[in-house]
């Protein structure tokens, strides 16, 4: 049962979608930071150190794939769980995103805001109740993927 304080960074170029998700997350006691493009999202992730990142894939300039590449190169951000949340057909890029470290790829039209909140809360509980200190982040990431499969 989710009972802890959580920070989620949304990297999304659609302000209306960001506003909707901010409302849902804050109603559930989750702090939200918003970033409207890839380069700013990387900076916010490095400075704010969120518990999760929800990442759009189709953005102008630096797209979500490039954001993932940058996040994975940084010691500060490489172990932050990332959920790809996009209108882009996930079948076309799911393998590449998973190889870059994304936990799951969801279509915006399929996974609605309330379900996204609940899934992230479940994953956060797994992280908080994780007792295997020796597990690497890839092992933990695989455990998180089981929650959403």
- CA–CA distances in Å: residue 43 to residues 27, 54, 83, 97: 26, 15, 18, 20
pTM: 0.86
Domain membership of residue 1 (yes or no) is no
Domain membership of residue 78 (yes or no) is yes
What's the CATH number where 45 sits?
3.40.50.2300
Domain membership of residue 25 (yes or no) is yes
Tell me the pLDDT tens digit for each residue of 37-91: 999 999 999 999 999 999 999 898 999 999 999 999 999 999 899 999 888 776 7
Tell me the pLDDT tens digit for each residue of 6-48: 899 999 999 998 899 899 999 999 999 999 999 999 999 999 9
Range of the domain at 85: 6-148
Q: How many domains does the chain fold into?
A: 1
């Amino acid at each position: 049962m989710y009972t802890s304080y959580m920070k989620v960074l949304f990297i999304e170029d659609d302000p209306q979608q960001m506003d909707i998700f901010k409302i849902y997350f804050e109603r559930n006691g989750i702090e939200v930071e918003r970033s409207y493009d890839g380069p700013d999202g990387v900076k916010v992730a490095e400075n704010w150190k969120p518990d999760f990142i929800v990442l759009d894939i189709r953005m102008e300039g630096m797209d979500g794939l490039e954001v993932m590449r940058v996040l994975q190169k940084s010691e500060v951000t490489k172990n932050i769980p990332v959920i790809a949340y996009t209108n882009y057909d996930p079948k076309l890029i799911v393998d590449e995103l998973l190889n870059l470290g994304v936990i799951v790829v969801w279509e915006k039209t399929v996974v609605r805001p309330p379900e996204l909140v609940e899934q992230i809360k479940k994953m956060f509980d797994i992280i908080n109740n994780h007792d295997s200190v020796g597990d690497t982040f890839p092992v933990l990431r695989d455990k998180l993927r089981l929650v959403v499969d």
